[in-house]
Chains A and B, each alone.
Chain A
Amino acid sequence: MASLRDIKNRITSTKKTSQITKAMQMVSAAKMNKAEMNAKSFVPYMEKIQEVTASIALGSKDVSHPMLTSRPVKKTGYLVITSDRGLAGAYNSNVLRNVYQTIQKRHKSPDEYAIIAIGRVGRDFFRKRNMNVILDIVAVADQPAFAEIKDIASKTVGMFADETFDELYMYYSHYVSAIQQDVTEKKLLPLTDISSSKKLTSYEFEPSAEEILKVLLPQYAESLIYGALLDSKASEHAARMTAMQNATDNAKELINSLSLSYNRARQAAITQEITEIVGGAAALE
């Protein structure tokens, strides 16, 4: 059995850990609220751009644009959004496992796919496995502004345009609620499933529908990427909050059981001392 001092040390260190996890939980809770608000303020932009894109792409049949048409697939792009740091429960591993298995299933050689990694954990995961990471960005802020992600988003869309890959899938963790996040696979390019719930308007185009699609579609695809990033940031903070909550709870449980055995050991030591004293006194008589 562990000595009194050992148990006491373990109790103090567990207490300190639980203070840290508790603090991290509260930080994540605050960040999650903010991330949720960011995601909300993005909604009007997304809705509008979706509505206009749908009106143009579905409304006029004779327009075509490379980003709207599927072509034979020689290479597939995967855009994977993870976090920079761990301690977020299964947040990263869920996404990575899903992508990894999909790639193993669909492709035989690394020439058939390319990975674009947002977030350090994802980048390191794929690099370590010698998978083809062509573009990466790390240290994205907790409340990312569009300007931060614009570069990688437009490069990604550009790679589809110059046929580096012929289709693009996006993997991220969709924020359902504070306790539920789902790994989501979304086909980003070509944009084949544009739809709008609202009534389509027929527009005049200035100068022409083709010219507008040229500006609109990349902007639309980039905003989809940004939307996914905001969504997964909210998930990240939610996942971290839950993980830290669990850690704090576990620490408390551990402290309880350690205190119990500490008290028991202390009691045993006292009992032993008394027995020794009584035994000593009896021997003298």
Chain B
Amino acid sequence: MKTIKVSVVTPDGPVYESDVEMVSTKAQSGELGILPGHIPMVAPLQIGAVRLKNGGKTDFVAVSGGFLEVRPEQVTILAQSAEQADEIDVERAVRAKQRAEERLNEQKRENIDFRRAELALRRAINRIEVSERKF
């Protein structure tokens, strides 16, 4: 089967680089699947998982937003942070989740902090889910 080159890049360096048969992820406009030979495209991503199918095996990468650039022979995901499923620090994610939940309960009135805590919570939940491969 034809494959397409995928790289997930963050400011701290590349996280994932490989040839895969299919990339699927959640863009802001909805679920998105990319096969080799896709037309050039750019789409912003939601906080979520990127699934990379190759052979019978699927790799998971947790991304915190960012966006996806597609070219016929290459897919690049640029995110401010991303981890492969087995590299996620689950304990840290659980702690972050608790912290975010506490903050959400405390300050329901202040808008900015509320939004930040909500994003932090979503990132933490995403990491936990990806590490458990719940997709």
Binding site for B on A (CB under 8 A): 38, 41-42, 44-45, 48-49, 52, 55-56, 145-147, 150, 201-207, 211-212, 214-216, 219, 222-223, 226
Contact = CB atoms under 8 A, between A and B. Distances in A.
A55 B40 CA distance: 11
Contact of B27 (A38, A145, A206): A206
A34 B81 CA distance: 20
Contacts, number: 80
Contact of B32 (A206, A212, A219): A206
Given A48-B76, A219-B80, A42 B11 contact: yes
A216 B40 contact: no
A126 to B, nearest CB: 26
Given A206-B42, A211-B28, A48 B9 contact: yes
The SS class assigned to the A binding surface is helix
Interface string B48-65: 000000000000000001
A203 B42 contact: yes
B13 A41 contact: yes
B43 to A, nearest CB: 4
A156 to B, nearest CB: 15
A206 B67 CA distance: 10
Given A48-B76, A48-B78, A215 B14 contact: no
Central interface residue in B12, B29, B42, B69, by most chain A CB within 10 Å: B42
B118 to A, nearest CB: 15
Contacts of A201: 40, 71
A52 B14 contact: no
Contacts of A203: 40-42, 69
A205 B44 CA distance: 9
A52 B78 contact: yes
A202 B10 contact: no
Contacts of B42: 52, 55-56, 203-206, 212, 216
